[in-house]
């Protein structure tokens, strides 16, 4: 199974856990998080990102894998809250393929200068 498929399958589960789709905060962690609102979801992303940094600093590869999984999972809940899908993020990454980060940065700065000069 491709990783794209795994992410899309998890996104389907997350979608099904929305309260509007019958998700039950008593039975589902995801539904409980949705019931707490966007701030709670974003707070979890901040916590999980910090845990990723700590695991990497500790040099603990297994912990890093677990923490990145937690981070991706909570980012997917945030995407779902904004009615976005993993495919939207993958499309954005594909759009960037072949464009060096440094080139992209220079392009963005030039566009900003043009905009400021308007």
Ligand X SMILES: N=c1c2ncn([C@@H]3O[C@H](COP(=O)(O)OP(=O)(O)OP(=O)(O)O)[C@@H](O)[C@H]3O)c2ncn1[C@@H]1O[C@H](COP(=O)(O)O)[C@@H](O)[C@H]1O
Segment lying near ligand X (by CB under 6 A), choices 23-31, 81-89, 90-98, 100-108? 23-31
Segment lying near ligand X (by CB under 6 A), choices 24-32, 55-63, 91-99, 106-114? 24-32
User: Does the protein bind ligand X through residue 29 (CB under 6 A)?
Assistant: yes
- Going by C-alpha positions, the residue among 27, 2, 8, 1 that lies closest to residue 89 is 8
Among 11, 17, 64, 77, binds ligand X (CB under 6 A): 17
Terminal-residue alpha carbon distance, the chain: 49
Which x/- pattern over 50-79 shows residues binding ligand X (rule: CB under 6 A)?
--------------------x--x------
Question: Can you give 50-86 as a three-state secondary structure string?
Answer: HHHHHHHHHCCHHHHHHHHHHHHHHHHHHHHHCCCCH
Separation CA 113–CA 106 (nearest Å): 11
Whether residue 78 contacts residue 85, with contact meaning beta carbons closer than 8 Å, is answered with: no
- Binding-site size for ligand X (CB under 6 A) equals 8
- Select 19 or 91, whichever has its Cβ closest to ligand X: 19
- Select 46 or 105, whichever has its Cβ closest to ligand X: 46
User: Does the protein bind ligand X through residue 40 (CB under 6 A)?
Assistant: no
Q: How long, in residues, is the chain?
A: 118
Residues that bind ligand X (CB under 6 A): 13, 17, 28-31, 70, 73
């Amino acid at each position: 199974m491709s990783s794209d498929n795994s992410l899309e399958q998890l996104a389907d589960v997350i979608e099904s856990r929305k309260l509007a789709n019958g998700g039950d905060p008593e039975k589902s962690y995801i539904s409980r998080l949705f019931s707490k609102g966007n701030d709670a979801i974003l707070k979890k992303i901040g916590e999980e990102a910090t845990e990723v940094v700590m695991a990497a600093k500790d040099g603990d590869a297994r912990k890093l894998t677990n923490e990145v999984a937690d981070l991706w999972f909570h980012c997917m809940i945030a995407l779902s809250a904004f009615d976005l899908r993993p495919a939207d993020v993958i499309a954005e990454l594909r759009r960037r393929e072949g464009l060096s980060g440094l080139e992209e940065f220079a392009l963005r700065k030039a566009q900003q200068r043009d905009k400021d000069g308007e």
